[in-house]
Amino acid sequence: MKTKNCALCEKEILQAYRVKITPWKIWIFVCGACCLKAKKWEYYVYWWTWKWKKK
C-alpha cells in the first residue's frame, strides 16, 4: 500500500492534496485537515488530489 506523509503534520495518509502555501513555486502534499487550515492562508493554491489506488 502506497502512502504519503503530510508535509505539515507528518501523518501518514492515503489521500493527499497538492497545494502551494508560499509565494514560491513549491508544491507540497497535505492531509485533509491541514488542507482546510491552509485555505485561510494568503498564498494558498489547490492543484489536485492524490489517492491511493488498488491494482
pLDDT at 13: 92
Q: Is the dihedral of CA 18, 36, 8, 22 positive or negative?
A: positive
- The full DSSP string for 8-46 is TT--EESEEEEEE-SSSS--EEE-HHHHHHHTTSTT-EE
Task: With a cut of 90, say whether residue 5 has pLDDT above it.
Answer: yes
22-55 per-position pLDDT tens digit: 999 999 999 999 999 999 999 999 988 888 775 5
Reported as half-sphere exposure (CB side, CA atoms, 13 A), residue 49 has a value of: 9
pLDDT at 52: 73
